[in-house]
């Protein structure tokens, strides 16, 4: 039957199924095809917290959400317009998130009594009225996939594993996604496994053709490309962008990159990405534990390499002593913290912004460290370069605060001109700096001490965690010297504020009563909520912190310029505590600690409440 084409400005789709159903792969492939069409997009992979939850249970549901649009996209969307549910557990886990009146596409073959019971249903939701408020399409995905692949001679189990490609083909047809992107990827992925390749291709084409020929679907949807700056784009996840930024910083400094870490969710992906980049001179080490990883990275910095270590919250606890040692040694080092929900093991696959106070104060003694926090997946590239630049220039360990949402989600990235990247000069010590004597703690105009590579003639000096004498670097127990060195280390970090841009403020009319101040991955939500409120005629200003320690010089002027300040965070109000304490403003917190990003409609409601 003829199909009608309906144009939409934006669409939010959520794919959900068992961990073994390939939902992350399905979402990733749909995302790449969407990026090729020029839509702006943002994604949210949502992994189950249990590694091997029983198949068919709600605890084992894996999901992938994407919002794509013909306009600027800042979040993966609040509520899906479309849910693709591969089994009853996926439907039960995700139904409450779908907008009322939205579209639900289910694999009806999976809705058998045994699967319904494992998902906790006492009756069939496809028949008992549970889905009355939605537009439901029941598709026999498994049966059609088996028929499409039966001539290939593969096992039933292998054929059924291709049903995610059927779902991808169907949704690709519904939204006019190009097929060649997926088919080319399948060829490159499974080219050496002929039967697996043919099964996935057959399932994908079966899904696409089903949409085109069935009378079940009468409408396809078109989303025009979004306006974008000229240039070359690629879809990039935060972990990829962070890895590329570290490599770029290494290149700009002319110093080899050394990365050491211990496997931990969700930071492990950074190790995986960097281990693939050996052709850029990257050296990676999977250490035996978090403490060893930090120590090895610091040792690499002492040896004249760009030493980086990465982890998540529990690993930061273990690395704390080495970070304090790095503060005392005053060596360049970057510590990447991909934050996850805590405390302790917490929710390993869920996102949170709970480590800001840990990064500020989580070491014994007075041991300040600079903190940089990316605000989007693509911005992880810039944050990595900035963290390395500060570390090298000021001879200090630097914390880079990412999080699970930023690391796993993706967006289009305008690949920068390499010539525009900042220069990073390691300025290694070449010889004695005080007559015929080398003074390892004689400081330059940035209060940075020399970076002296071991083995360089004339630069022998002592390192270690005991307090150093100002200038000579000899061990010192003198009270006055300790106080002087403590103030010097703090002043060096504070001096970085002279080297970073002022905090920009988005206040279109210049007379807003309310400032929304954020940091990290809340940026997209803040922009989306502010846009919605402004469309209602309300006036709000927004500002977002990229440098958290030290703060930009004008941060105090910004927060005191507005009668009301609202700080949304995925924690219990950590930035709000810092802002209130430092600038004595009555900053108001809006917090969420559910392992999920703050949704734009949640923040919109809070903004309207504060405005009154």
Distances (CA, A) of 343 to 35, 154, 357: 37, 46, 13
Whether the CB-CB separation of 382 and 415 falls below 8 Å is answered with no
Rounded to an integer, the average pLDDT of 77-99 is: 97
Query: Domain range holding 318?
Result: 234-420
Picking from 353, 386, 420, the residue at the C-terminal end of a domain is 420
Whether the CB-CB separation of 73 and 40 falls below 8 Å is answered with yes
HEC secondary structure over 288-332: CCHHHHHHHHHHHHHCCCEEEEEECHHHHHHHHHHHHHHHHHCCC
Nearest to 328 by CA among 463, 471, 173, 527: 463
Can you give the pTM of this predicted structure?
0.95
Alpha carbons within 13 A on the beta-carbon side of 483: 3
What percent of the chain clears pLDDT 90, i.e. is strictly above it? 95
Picking from 405, 420, 435, the residue at the C-terminal end of a domain is 420
Residues 258, 113 share a domain: no
Residue 495 placed within a domain = yes
Residues 214, 247 share a domain: no
Picking from 499, 531, 558, the residue at the C-terminal end of a domain is 499
Long-range contacts of 43-46 (CB under 8 A, 24+ apart): 43/67, 43/76, 43/409, 43/410, 43/411, 44/76, 44/405, 44/408, 44/409, 44/597, 45/408, 45/409, 46/349
Residue 229 placed within a domain = no
Residues 399, 443 share a domain: no
Alpha carbons within 13 A on the beta-carbon side of 102: 21
Residues 28, 71 share a domain: yes
Alpha carbons within 13 A on the beta-carbon side of 73: 29
Residue 245 placed within a domain = yes
Q: Which residues contact 65 (CB under 8 A, 6 or more apart)?
A: 12, 13, 14, 15, 27, 43, 44, 45, 46, 76, 77, 80
- Could you tell me the pLDDT band of residue 559, with boundaries at 50, 70 and 90? very high
Residue 553 placed within a domain = yes
Residue 71 placed within a domain = yes
Distances (CA, A) of 383 to 25, 201, 227, 245, 388: 27, 39, 25, 7, 9
Residue 257 placed within a domain = yes
CA dihedral 426, 432, 435, 439 (to 10 degrees): 80
Residue 548 placed within a domain = yes
Residues 184, 65 share a domain: yes
Read off the tokens for 393. 């220039």
Distances (CA, A) of 176 to 212, 223, 248, 424: 11, 8, 36, 45
Residues 83, 31 share a domain: yes
Distances (CA, A) of 21 to 25, 49, 165, 167, 323: 9, 16, 10, 11, 41
Q: Is the pLDDT of residue 20 over 90?
A: no
Residues 359, 243 share a domain: yes
pLDDT in tens, 404-454: 999 999 999 999 999 999 999 999 999 999 888 999 999 999 999 999 999
Residues 298, 198 share a domain: no
- CATH code of the domain containing 532: 3.40.50.920
Residues 137, 15 share a domain: yes
Q: Report the interhelical angle of 379-394 vs 238-253 (nearest 10°).
A: 40
Q: How many CB atoms lie within 10 A of CB 420?
A: 6
Position 260 scores a pLDDT of 98
- Could you tell me the pLDDT band of residue 487, with boundaries at 50, 70 and 90? very high
Residue 227 placed within a domain = no
- Could you tell me the pLDDT band of residue 139, with boundaries at 50, 70 and 90? very high
Q: Is the pLDDT of residue 287 over 70?
A: yes
Whether the CB-CB separation of 575 and 597 falls below 8 Å is answered with no
Q: How many CB atoms lie within 10 A of CB 84?
A: 31
Distances (CA, A) of 518 to 46, 212, 387, 561, 567: 23, 45, 19, 16, 6
Position 1 scores a pLDDT of 62
Residues 537, 432 share a domain: no
Q: Is the pLDDT of residue 581 over 80?
A: yes
Q: Name 222's bridge partners.
A: 7
pLDDT in tens, 346-362: 999 999 999 999 999 99
Read off the tokens for 296. 């090895």
Residues 512, 490 share a domain: no
- CATH code of the domain containing 109: 3.40.920.10
How many domains does one find in the chain? 4
What count of residues does the chain have? Answer: 612
Position 575 scores a pLDDT of 98
Q: Is the pLDDT of residue 308 over 90?
A: yes
Residues 568, 444 share a domain: no
pLDDT in tens, 460-478: 998 999 999 999 999 999 9
Read off the tokens for 406. 């930023």
């Amino acid at each position: 039957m003829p199909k009608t084409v309906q144009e939409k400005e934006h669409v939010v789709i959520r794919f959900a199924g068992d961990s073994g159903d390939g939902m992350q792969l399905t979402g990733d492939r749909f995302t790449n095809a969407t990026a090729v069409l020029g839509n702006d997009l943002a994604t949210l992979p949502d992994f189950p917290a249990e590694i091997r939850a029983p198949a068919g249970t709600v605890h084992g549901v894996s999901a992938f959400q994407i919002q794509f649009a013909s306009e600027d996209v800042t979040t993966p969307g609040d509520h899906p317009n479309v849910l693709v549910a591969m089994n009853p557990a996926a439907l039960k886990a995700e139904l409450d998130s779908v907008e009322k009146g939205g579209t639900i596409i289910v694999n009806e073959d999976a809705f058998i009594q045994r699967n319904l019971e494992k998902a906790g249903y006492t009756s069939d939701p496809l028949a008992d009225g549970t889905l009355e408020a939605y537009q439901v399409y029941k598709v026999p995905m498994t049966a059609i996939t088996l028929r499409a692949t039966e001539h290939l001679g593969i096992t039933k189990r292998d054929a059924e594993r291709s049903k995610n490609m059927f779902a991808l083909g169907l949704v690709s047809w519904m939204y006019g996604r190009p097929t060649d992107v997926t088919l080319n990827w399948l060829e490159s992925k499974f080219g050496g496994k002929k039967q697996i390749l043919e099964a996935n291709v057959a399932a994908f084409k079966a899904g696409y053709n089903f949409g085109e020929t069935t009378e079940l679907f009468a409408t396809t949807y078109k989303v025009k490309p979004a306006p974008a700056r000229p240039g070359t784009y690629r879809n990039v996840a935060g972990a990829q962008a962070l890895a590329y930024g570290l490599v770029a910083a290494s290149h700009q400094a002319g110093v080899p990159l050394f990365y050491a870490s211990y496997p931990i969710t969700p930071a492990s992906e950074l190790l995986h990405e960097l281990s693939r980049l050996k052709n850029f001179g990257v050296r990676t080490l999977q250490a035996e534990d978090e403490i060893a990883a930090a120590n090895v990275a610091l040792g690499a910095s002492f040896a004249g390499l760009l030493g980086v270590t990465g982890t998540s919250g529990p690993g930061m606890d273990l690395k704390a002593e080495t970070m304090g040692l790095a503060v005392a040694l005053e060596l360049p080092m970057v510590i990447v913290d991909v934050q996850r929900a805590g405390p302790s093991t917490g929710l390993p696959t869920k996102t949170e912004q709970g480590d800001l106070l840990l990064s500020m104060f989580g070491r014994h003694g007075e041991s300040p460290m600079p903190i940089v926090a990316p605000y989007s997946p693509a911005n992880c590239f810039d944050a990595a370069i900035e963290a390395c630049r500060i570390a090298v220039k000021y001879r200090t360990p630097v914390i880079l605060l990412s999080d699970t949402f930023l690391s796993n989600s993706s967006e289009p990235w305008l690949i920068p001109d390499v010539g525009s990247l900042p220069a990073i000069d390691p300025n290694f010590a070449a010889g004695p700096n005080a007559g015929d004597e080398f003074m390892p703690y004689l400081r330059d105009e940035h209060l940075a001490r020399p970076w002296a590579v071991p083995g360089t003639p004339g630069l022998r000096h002592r390192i270690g965690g005991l307090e150093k004498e100002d200038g000579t670097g000899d061990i010192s127990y003198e009270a006055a010297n300790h106080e002087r060195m403590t103030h010097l280390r703090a002043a060096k970090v504070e001096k970085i504020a002279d080297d970073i841009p002022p905090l920009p403020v988005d206040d279109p009319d210049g007379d807003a009563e309310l400032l929304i101040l954020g940091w990290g991955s809340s940026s997209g939500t803040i922009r989306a909520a502010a846009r919605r409120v402004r469309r209602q005629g309300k006036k709000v200003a927004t500002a977002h912190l990229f440098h958290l320690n030290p703060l930009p010089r004008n941060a105090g002027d910004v927060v005191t310029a507005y009668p009301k300040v609202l700080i949304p965070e995925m924690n219990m109000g950590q930035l709000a505590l810092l802002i209130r304490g430092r600038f004595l403003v009555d900053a108001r917190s809006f917090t969420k600690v559910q392992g999920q990003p703050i949704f734009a409609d949640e923040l919109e409601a809070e903004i309207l409440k504060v405005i009154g």
